Amino acid sequence: MVKIAKFLYVLIISLSLFLFAITVDGAYVTRFWCYRDLDCRKDMCKPPFNPRCHNHICICRLWGLYEK
């Protein structure tokens, strides 16, 4: 009986760690690959952020910030 309880305890902790690893701030983490800013989905960012292609991955940034 103790072995079953330990197994269930380890299973619950493992599943919760896995679910925590794939979520960030309540949203599932998905990476959109891109070659330019137009390749990024328009609905992936909340205002006032806009999608931007950086190192071939779409990220959310404010336009005009972090420009070189």
Say if residue 36 is in the same domain as residue 54.
yes
E-strand stretches of 1-68: 23-24, 27-28, 50-54, 57-61
What global pTM score does this model have? 0.47
- State pLDDT tens for residues 7-31: 989 888 887 777 665 555 555 556 7
Q: Which of 55, 28, 56 is nearest to 44 (CA)?
A: 28
Say if residue 25 is in the same domain as residue 37.
no
Structure tokens belonging to residue 28: 């599932």
Say if residue 43 is in the same domain as residue 55.
yes
Place of tokens 């072995």: 3
Say if residue 62 is in the same domain as residue 39.
yes
Say if residue 49 is in the same domain as residue 22.
no
Say if residue 24 is in the same domain as residue 51.
no
Q: Which residues on neighbouring strands pair with residue 57, listed in sequence order?
A: 33, 54
- State pLDDT tens for residues 24-60: 555 555 678 899 989 998 888 888 888 889 888 888 8
Domain range for 37 is: 31-68
